[in-house]
A and B are shown apart, each in its own frame.
Chain A
């Protein structure tokens, strides 16, 4: 039983449910500049940064599936996009030498903003069509900055999920 509780997929699922509850309540109300902060995207990018591209893709998929269960957009859209973003975050993390906390925050911000753009592009392809242009740039900026600020909280949680201990060199 304890073995199951320590499995990354189980912990990722549990964290996904908690974040989903926060996303649909507090984040639906607290909208800086009229934009919703995307905690599921934050968790996907953070998983990629701490666990690498494979865990990033897996984490993004799990968080995306959880989110799509409460949205009315086409099912499968979020797992696809969040999985890709998690993979890219993990891949970009492998290219950096030093993992300073502020650098990771910047990477979370950039990854989240990229996720918003990819989501809009995929939506253009499979519908419903999301608005492109200045509104999208604003959404990407707000989500990116907010997720960058929240990154120091999200990264330790995702390390716990994956059973990774931080090594300070």
Chain B
């Protein structure tokens, strides 16, 4: 093997790789189709390997996660007990909200069908943030559809097979979606009373200290009264804060701060929002504000899906502030998710 041929081979391989990358950047669909075709062929092998290696994976999980699982189980039981009380209160809020929308002759919102899916695989390399789910084209799942769980937006479908799909998580560096930042207390589906025209009843809620045996207790250690369960009805009301009580004759207050696009930054990094404007409105954004999907004719997600909360705001002179978002969903422990069978208005119309 002489030096010339070696150099020629190396050069050829490098050039081929660069060619692939160039193909990737031009939207010919060649790369995507090749990946999809390979996915079809490779899935049976992968499935077989999964079955064969299951004992090894289970043993590893048993060794590493036993204590964590036990602790998590206790926490979940505690959360479940509180959620049962909260959901009843939440239903009342939603009903009231819908009644008010009807009164004002506003649309309640599109009925979007969903498909429940289970996460069956995680990302094979650390530089991408994806999960694999067990529902695909057979159930109507298509590329681009948003994926949520109980806490909010999780990601969007980026590749789809007959019985499975790859979901790109919000934290993936290639994830982009238009979002809206709203005030901390203005949550979609909740009517916030006006403070200027009506008298607002308020109550101060004591911080909740959770004891897995005795249940939730107040700051002084005494058991909380039954009415105090309203503290965790909506995530936006932090325990210990003074919150307005809905339904005391108030009216809806729109409290948008700014719109922009959310972009993932990889594992262990919170996504950032690139704001459209640098104005007083964008500078009023503060930690704790809600981030929801913006929707729109071309958006892949419907409006008002909860995404997360503003974690940190860095103001910059002469430029729009940098807004860091703490995602609501726990993306490291995903199990069941829902795919919203939603298509952008522009696509439905076309």
* Interface residues, chain A, with chain B CB atoms under 8 Å away: 17, 20-30, 34-36, 38, 52-54, 57-58, 61, 64-65, 67-77, 79-80, 83-84, 87, 119-120, 123, 126-131, 135, 139
Contacts and interface: CB of A to CB of B under 8 A. Distances in A.
Nearest to A56: B10
Contacts of B42: 17, 20-21, 69-70
Contacts of A139: 126
A72 B174 contact: yes
Contacts of B10: 53-54, 57, 83, 87
A75 B21 contact: yes
Given A25-B50, A52-B1, A69-B39, 5 more contacts: A71-B125, A76-B24, A79-B20, A129-B265, A135-B267
A130 B173 contact: yes
Interface stretch (B30-38, B232-240, B273-281): B30-38
A66 B272 CA distance: 32
B301 to A, nearest CB: 19
Q: Secondary structure of the B side of the interface?
A: helix
For chain B, which range describes its interface: under 10, 10 to 19, 20 to 34, or 35 or more residues?
A: 35 or more
Q: Secondary structure of the A side of the interface?
A: helix
30 contacts: A17-B45, A21-B46, A22-B49, A23-B124, A24-B121, A24-B124, A29-B57, A29-B60, A54-B10, A58-B9, A68-B20, A69-B42, A70-B38, A70-B39, A70-B42, A71-B125, A73-B125, A73-B127, A74-B25, A75-B20, A75-B21, A76-B21, A76-B24, A77-B17, A80-B17, A84-B14, A127-B173, A129-B266, A131-B265, A135-B268
Given A24-B124, A28-B121, A72-B130, A57 B9 contact: yes
Interface in B159-217: 159, 166, 168, 172-174
B19 interface: yes
Interface of B: 1, 5-6, 9-10, 13-14, 16-25, 31, 34-35, 38-39, 42, 45-46, 48-50, 53, 56-57, 60-61, 121-128, 130, 158-159, 166, 168, 172-174, 265-269
Nearest to B37: A69
Nearest to B58: A29
Nearest to A126: B21
A83 B126 contact: no
B24 A74 contact: yes
Nearest to B25: A74
Nearest to A61: B13
A75 to B, nearest CB: 5
Contacts of A35: 126
A79 B50 contact: no
A36 B173 contact: no
A123 B125 CA distance: 14
Given A24-B121, A28-B121, A72-B130, A131 B1 contact: no
B124 A70 contact: yes
Among A20, A23, A25, A38, max chain B CB count under 10 A is at A25
B168 to A, nearest CB: 6
A21 B18 contact: no
A38 B18 contact: no
Contacts of B49: 21-22, 24-26
